[in-house]
Structure 1
Amino acid sequence: MAVSPTFSETNSSPESTLGSVRKRNGVVAAFDGVRIHKAIEKAFRAEKRLTPDEMLSVDLTNAIDAHANAVIAWSAAQDDLNVEAIQDEVERVLMAAGAHGVARRYILYREQHAEKRRARALWYRRADGSEAVLDTDALRASIEDACAGLGPDVSAEPVVKEALGSLYAGVTESEIAQSMILAARSRVEIEPGYSSAAARLLLGVLYGEATGTPSRIVDADRIYASYFKTYFTQAVEAKLLNPEMLTFDLDSLAAAIHGERDLQFQFLGLQTLYDRYLIQDKGRRIELPQLFWMRVAMGLSLREDDREARAIEFYTLLSQFHFTSATPTLFNAGTLHSQLSSCYLTTVPDDLGGIFSSIRDNALLSKWAGGLGNDWTGVRALGAEITGTGGKSQGVIPFLKVASDTAVAVNQGGKRKGAVCAYLETWHLDIEHFLDLRKNTGDDRRRTHDMNTANWIPDLFMQRVAAGGQWTLFSPNDVPDLHDTYGAAFEARYTEYERQADAGQIALFKRVPALDLWRKMLAALFETGHPWITFKDPSNVRSPQQHVGVVHNSNLCTEILLNTSEEETAVCNLGSINLQAHLTDGALDHARLQATIQTAVRMLDNVIDINYYPTPQAKTANLRHRPVGLGVMGFQDALYTLGSSYASDAAVQFADESMEAISYYAFLASSQLAAERGAYPTYQGSLWSQGQLPIDTIDRLAKERGADVLMDRSSTLDWTVVRSAIQQSGMRNSNVLAIAPTATISNIVGVSQSIEPTYKNLYVKSNLSGEFTQVNTALVQDLKALGLWDAEMRDDLKYFDGSLLEIERIPQEIRDRYRTAFEIDAHWIIECASRRQKWIDMGQSLNLYMDQPSGKKLHEMYFLAWAKGLKTTYYLRTVAATQVEKSTLDINRRSIQPRWMKNQSASADIQVERVAETCTLGAECEACQ
């Protein structure tokens, strides 16, 4: 029999064009194409019943070589090559060539070797170093438990196969657990239900870690019943919890625990909880999820008369994901240092001692997980005379550098990065230097790479920009009352100071075209993301507390608007309603919403009395005014449930309707709490005491501006009930509503962040807990209903970077409903925000998105936000330079270019889009939520 040259003779270096391959045990080795050839040859011999000594025909040899070369060519195109993927490709090539019998032999060959590997991997290493036989039946049972009840598309078998395939002899216990979790989470982009399966597998790990014994999720109720008292006793003995926690009736609280609620978590949420929230003792988690919710509930009930009943009430709300307290409350409730507040706002005085006292206060406030907003407008400008020495001031910028470095050094008790935002009013002489603080060029001693910045803009400046007028910059020591005035009074004093400057009575000033300064502000915002655009006058004119002070700035995330002074550090305590959980039969469930809000406002008010205050100024302000900030999350999810696009009149109407209801019930709840506990001390003289609600203040703003505010004034509820309650009992809290970013807490409960539109329908989220594939579950459900959710659709989503607009086989109505943030015209986001703002006594953390920004578009967008009566805006988001990983896709087989290729040069190495967790997409604002 004639024999053709062997594969190895004609391809002496089959791995020459290839790099490395990842083996099942994680080891990376050089690619060896000979192995592929030998495996295919064995399959052919087995099918033809040939012994190793019998020669192959030329035709068979050529066929073997062709199949092997096809697999090698495929392998060369892969970025992340692993053994299992190569073997899958061998099967595919054989089947595609019609060699079905050979393919069956190869599959049998693979399974035989898999069994041998499993046999070799039947022993593992325990945590104490001892060896034991791996119980594969128990492993399979754990995975089946995790997949149970998640629908027909969530199967345990592929998870079992992948988990076992990754094991090796001597694997550790923790690696076995991780192999199961990773096997489940790797399938999330195929079926979102695997996120729940991965979470349940992590639960099993957590149960075992806390209790010290292997545990199954089906035994949750038994675990909680037996471990409840043990946990609280152990945590108190370890000085991790307040000893007062042991004075509760622990038996009655244990009976209220619902272990099955652990199954609500998605993987991202539970992993975040596991990594950063659950109490640990010497590196071991001793707190379980339902104990976490109960610990927070108990911590907020410490001063209640019927503590157990209130703790159960609070626990029920938290554990059902109807309402979630902000991160500092979740971190610290029930501990020895119960710093539960989210935000601190300070005013920095214009003297050296006061400046460094403020920086010291920043450190103390940041240590216990508070996000900071500093008003620096009162500090004299560069070139101003120093009264005590007769020298010239270096201005604000050098001190901001020190404040920025302090935020880095004091990293919130080692739990997360410290964060601060500096505010400066637009008339300050240092404003142009302030705009450059976040630039990567220039003198680094005058840069604050780790500090957020925000412009505090008076209406007069916006009017001068619109009119093409001039703008005058002053040092605050020359114009001391501008800092504390707003509206028409500010305009009168400002124009008087301009007259004095023209008359030579003020020497240090600078005059610039207002439009030129505005352009610099927008250019800096586009280039660096800072300073943010926030508005002084609507924040003050519509403030209910204008009788006792001035709002000089906002907080780290631009939603808190409270008075500050040298004597008072404003404090706010936050929590958010899960709007998605308050829909029933396609409509807002008012009864459930009212019940949630009544309990939530009580929880927030309790924070004020239980709270640990790092500075006396913070305690003074919080006890005098008792502000709280009730917000929302899951707005986008609610729209999906209602079948509405964010870019629609229906979304605008729902924003209005939902915020009116939240406002109605929140103000009523605070008034009812005042009837029980008394009104806040500075209530008399407030707008509340004058019968003025937020919606009544829109006309006040229009009067101060001398022009109409383009804000809807309609309402649907009978507000006489709320007005009557406030007139009779007053308000327990000076401020009640603020919409924070909810970055982390929305991850925990598995809903869309705050009032944000969907970022992308498919992307990888990166945060302190790792990387998580995020798929729009609502979209997947709709596509399944249409029979469109398949491998090709998943590839299309990757190719089009999470966008549906160019996937023509999807109905237009679905494409419109699932527009992503950069596909929604900003005017829809602003209109929804305006409808909310009319009901809110503080502000909302509002990100704005622009696909292809230009100076003209930015100008129009921010002027619209101001004209619509918004008090603040937050991050400006533009299209990222990196996109969803596409290395596994053949982008040339599609005739349509995706928008990411049209809008930028295609990169040869396109990376996964990684979105930082904190705030919505940025890296700072998780200090609030």
Structure 2
Amino acid sequence: MRYLELNSAVLQKQNGFFQLEKDLEAARAFEAEAEQQMRRFPGPIERLRTLIAEGYYEDFFARYSEADVLELSDLAYSYGFRFQSFMAISKFYKDYALKSNDKKQYLEHYEDRVVATALHLAQGNMEKARSYVRAMMEQRYQPATPTFLNAGRARRGELVSCFLLELDDSLNSIGFNLNTAMQLSKIGGGVALNLSKLRARGEPIKGVAHAAKGVVPVMKLLEDAFNYADQMGQRKGAGAVYLNVFHWDVEDFLDTKKINADEKSRIQTLSLGLIVPQKFFELAERGEDFYVFAPYSVYQAFGEHLDDMDLDRRYEELLAHPAVKKRPLSARAMLTRIAQTQFESGYPYIIYKTNANRAHPLKRLGQIKMSNLCTEIFQLQTTSFIGDYGQDDQIGYDISCNLGSLNIVNVMESGQLAESVHTAMDMLTAVSDLSQVSNAPGVYRANQAFHSVGLGAMNLHGFLAKNHLRYESEEARDFARSFFAAVNFYSLERSMQIARERGVRFEGFELSDYASGVYFDPYLTQDFRPRNEKVQQLFAHIPLPSPEDWARLKKQVQQHGLYHAYRLAIAPTQSISYIQNATPSIAPIVDVVETRTYGNATTYYPVPFLSEETFWYYKSAYHMDMYRVIDLVAEIQPHVDQGISTVLYVTSETSTRELARLYIYAWKKGLKSLYYTRTKNLSVEECVSCAV
């Protein structure tokens, strides 16, 4: 295939630099092939009428006139859009564009996918549909994959595809959540489950000693369930399980990811995460032992589950209780064990539970207990109690992830920061309103109550490099601080406006820190506008909120409320970053030319805005000081009401002790989570560095 040859030619340097023009040539060659495979129609209206009749699209004309639809199509095509990289165009046509049932013809250009998404989310409101088309065509905002892929299709999956469930300590609950996880996996959902309430291996059942089998067999059941319910083979099931570090089974839990683990206990495809309260890190710092507890013995002694207790405050109480089964482990040795497991597998994720709940604006409504597959979702959760036949179930609050991301470069260069955030919040609100996940009752109930969304961002490293700012610099932290403080402001503003327009507040608003006004205190006493002169110039044409603006917004929120209980979450964008020709999320790049293998084809992706000038600002994450990377995330986190998916990049020269220090540093800097740890073997030279 000619486009693959052109794309690989990027690495064949001329005059000491990559042949970047070859990537654009590859994109144009792929575009020509896609046009040959595109089904033709006399015009936009005929196209939609035909595809609706053939069962590809929902009936847009039930809500819009032909003139409306034609206007939106003309608007989208007026931009003269062209993909800016081979990766972008190939990713769109292979993974997102609507295809004929036999997969032999493309039925959508990029503009058509944008229009279908806008028509579906706007639900007949032409003003909103226009703003949605503009935001997506100008690539200021990008819906997450499930939304962008499915919106407007007659045969579609859900617009959200990430869910969080919690198990109670009963076989009814295990069976119920196993079924719910399979139902969600069937529709393409990734599901995280908190196993921390399950009794430990060897605890009694109905008074029979040593009857409980612990968390590992439940993990095996879940792994098999996700492998079975895989969206008819179109997409692999994806699951994650979380466990509190003070749970008796924590060692067994971590051992499932050992390379030499017994096949009966080894977990191959499930992701693992540890829920770690502050108390554990305090004990590790002091070099003391920490005690793991048998959770059923805790429940019997206190009438509360171990994972629901504030262990920072009640740890000593648990230690002192004679009926609580416990045993000591070295806290520092556990940190080392976690680091070793991460070097081997990338897991476990780490959830800083105390940090998450300390910053939680809804702490009087409930506590944050876990996170999702990508560790950026932090919302309150309550346990469902599943009764026997004839008994009523008590359905609690579970969580769905409703995501989308701003493209920082395009938002900044358009000068439309407030407008972009407002439009993004409207589009995410539409997804929340349209999501009816009836086969997961806890998810359904929470979505109806809280209308939670997660607006994120991408292309931070791209923006910094394009503007000759180093990722590890104070200027980068200054920019990030100002940008995300403003995103926070405008997301709150739009949520307040929606609450005012609809006369609807999220459930329990009156108990939140927004209603009391406490949430706004830092913004009234500090000015988060940029301090550095160069950064000030970057915002020269973009209004940023002052403390006075924050004071005004505080009064409006207290008067009108908020529609969304949660608004912001920065996910680890990948596919949608490729489509936007953007660097992923707020993360640093890994290589200036990324190598991706799909099937038996290898694709090379030069980072956006790469040139001989910007090359020096594209330092690989593997060569960065991870402390400075954490510092940048820590500047953003106070302005994000949920979390930030944060990857640590280490090399074969990094020790387990150094990795453990990074865990502690991230905790002290106020991060809520750490995602994967990626390891690179420095002894192996990469093709990029040796290409000629």
> Shared fold (TM-score greater than 0.5)?
yes
Deviations 1:267-322 (A, max 9, x none): 111111111111122212212211001111111112xxx52222121111112111
SS of aligned partner of 1:477: helix
* 2:27 is equivalent to residue 199 of structure 1: yes
Deviations 1:658-680 (A, max 9, x none): 11111111111111111112222
CA distance 1:350–1:772, shift in 2 (3 Å) = same
The one of 649, 667, 674 aligned to 2:499: 674
Alignment partner, residue 140 of structure 2 = 322
Alignment partner, residue 412 of structure 2 = 583
CA distance 1:465–1:482, shift in 2 (3 Å) = farther
* 2:660 is equivalent to residue 859 of structure 1: yes
Deviation at 1:773, TM superposition (A): 1.5
Code of the residue aligned with 1:844 in structure 2: it is I
CA distance 1:438–1:698, shift in 2 (3 Å) = farther
- Whole-Å separation in 1 of the counterparts to 2:34 and 2:180: 38
Higher mean displacement: 456-465 or 351-360: 351-360
Code of the residue aligned with 2:551 in structure 1: it is T
Alignment partner, residue 564 of structure 2 = 733
CA distance 1:366–1:388, shift in 2 (3 Å) = farther
Code of the residue aligned with 1:490 in structure 2: it is L
Q: Which has the higher contact order (CA 8 A, sep 6+)?
A: 2
Alignment partner, residue 130 of structure 1 = none
Deviations 1:783-819 (A, max 9, x none): 7xxxxxxxxxxxxxxxxxxxxxxxxxxxxxx64x332
Alignment partner, residue 762 of structure 1 = 593
Deviation at 1:235, TM superposition (A): 2.8
* 2:579 is equivalent to residue 748 of structure 1: yes
SS of aligned partner of 1:278: coil
Alignment partner, residue 312 of structure 1 = 130
Residues 328, 370 of structure 1: 8 Å contact kept: no
Alignment partner, residue 300 of structure 1 = 121
* 2:36 is equivalent to residue 208 of structure 1: yes
Alignment partner, residue 150 of structure 1 = none
* 2:119 is equivalent to residue 288 of structure 1: no
Deviation at 1:452, TM superposition (A): 0.5
The one of 193, 196, 212 aligned to 1:374: 193
The one of 489, 493, 518 aligned to 2:314: 493
Code of the residue aligned with 2:234 in structure 1: it is K
Residues 200, 295 of structure 2: 8 Å contact kept: yes
SS of aligned partner of 2:646: coil
CA distance 1:315–1:889, shift in 2 (3 Å) = closer
Higher mean displacement: 419-428 or 181-190: 181-190
Alignment partner, residue 592 of structure 1 = 416
- Whole-Å separation in 2 of the counterparts to 1:889 and 1:253: 46
The one of 509, 521, 529 aligned to 2:338: 521
Q: How does 1:374-523 map to 2 (within 5 A)?
A: 374-387=193-206, 392-480=211-299, 481-483=304-306, 485=308, 489-500=310-321, 503=322, 505-506=323-324, 508-523=325-340
CA distance 1:888–1:271, shift in 2 (3 Å) = same
CA distance 1:693–1:192, shift in 2 (3 Å) = farther
Code of the residue aligned with 2:460 in structure 1: it is F
CA distance 1:319–1:637, shift in 2 (3 Å) = same
Residues 324, 575 of structure 1: 8 Å contact kept: yes
Residues 261, 290 of structure 1: 8 Å contact kept: no
CA distance 1:610–1:385, shift in 2 (3 Å) = same
Deviation at 1:327, TM superposition (A): 0.6
Deviation at 1:601, TM superposition (A): 0.2
CA distance 1:635–1:695, shift in 2 (3 Å) = farther
- Whole-Å separation in 2 of the counterparts to 1:245 and 1:681: 35
- Whole-Å separation in 2 of the counterparts to 1:297 and 1:483: 46
Code of the residue aligned with 2:426 in structure 1: it is R
* 2:390 is equivalent to residue 568 of structure 1: no
Alignment partner, residue 531 of structure 2 = none
Alignment partner, residue 635 of structure 1 = 460
Residues 231, 287 of structure 1: 8 Å contact kept: no
The one of 415, 422, 426 aligned to 1:602: 426
Alignment partner, residue 149 of structure 2 = 331
Code of the residue aligned with 1:884 in structure 2: it is E
The one of 25, 50, 64 aligned to 1:234: 50
Alignment partner, residue 664 of structure 1 = 489
CA distance 1:883–1:230, shift in 2 (3 Å) = farther
SS of aligned partner of 1:281: coil
- Whole-Å separation in 2 of the counterparts to 1:370 and 1:553: 17
- Whole-Å separation in 1 of the counterparts to 2:329 and 2:61: 61
Q: How does 1:616-655 map to 2 (within 5 A)?
A: 616-655=441-480
- Whole-Å separation in 1 of the counterparts to 2:689 and 2:337: 39
CA distance 1:682–1:743, shift in 2 (3 Å) = same
Deviation at 1:389, TM superposition (A): 5.9
The one of 628, 638, 641 aligned to 1:838: 638
CA distance 1:435–1:575, shift in 2 (3 Å) = same
Tell me, which stretches of 5 or more residues in structure 2 are unaligned? 12-17, 385-395, 526-544
- Whole-Å separation in 1 of the counterparts to 2:341 and 2:449: 38
Code of the residue aligned with 1:682 in structure 2: it is G
What's the TM-score, normalizing by structure 2?
0.88
Deviations 1:431-469 (A, max 9, x none): 001111222212112111101001100001110111122
CA distance 1:253–1:746, shift in 2 (3 Å) = same
CA distance 1:768–1:359, shift in 2 (3 Å) = farther
Cα RMSD, aligned residues only = 2.4
Residues 345, 554 of structure 1: 8 Å contact kept: yes
Residues 694, 840 of structure 1: 8 Å contact kept: no
Code of the residue aligned with 2:611 in structure 1: it is V
Deviations 1:7-50 (A, max 9, x none): xxxxxxxxxxxxxxxxxxxxxxxxxxxxxxxxxxxxxxxxxxxx
Residues 407, 459 of structure 2: 8 Å contact kept: yes
Deviation at 1:470, TM superposition (A): 2.0
Higher mean displacement: 518-527 or 653-662: 518-527
Alignment partner, residue 538 of structure 1 = 355
Deviation at 1:698, TM superposition (A): 14
CA distance 1:603–1:763, shift in 2 (3 Å) = closer
What's the TM-score, normalizing by structure 1?
0.66
Residues 459, 535 of structure 1: 8 Å contact kept: yes
Deviation at 1:404, TM superposition (A): 1.4
Code of the residue aligned with 1:297 in structure 2: it is A
Deviation at 1:251, TM superposition (A): 2.7
Residues 458, 537 of structure 1: 8 Å contact kept: yes
Residues 349, 675 of structure 2: 8 Å contact kept: yes
Deviation at 1:887, TM superposition (A): 11
- Whole-Å separation in 1 of the counterparts to 2:97 and 2:73: 18
Deviation at 1:595, TM superposition (A): 0.4
Higher mean displacement: 313-322 or 367-376: 367-376
- Whole-Å separation in 2 of the counterparts to 1:262 and 1:838: 36
- Whole-Å separation in 2 of the counterparts to 1:695 and 1:747: 38
- Whole-Å separation in 2 of the counterparts to 1:451 and 1:877: 17
SS of aligned partner of 1:424: strand
Code of the residue aligned with 1:298 in structure 2: it is L
Deviation at 1:716, TM superposition (A): 6.0
Deviations 1:123-171 (A, max 9, x none): xxxxxxxxxxxxxxxxxxxxxxxxxxxxxxxxxxxxxxxxxxxxxxxxx
CA distance 1:573–1:261, shift in 2 (3 Å) = farther
- Whole-Å separation in 2 of the counterparts to 1:653 and 1:537: 26
- Whole-Å separation in 2 of the counterparts to 1:352 and 1:256: 55
- Whole-Å separation in 2 of the counterparts to 1:511 and 1:640: 49
Residues 190, 239 of structure 2: 8 Å contact kept: yes
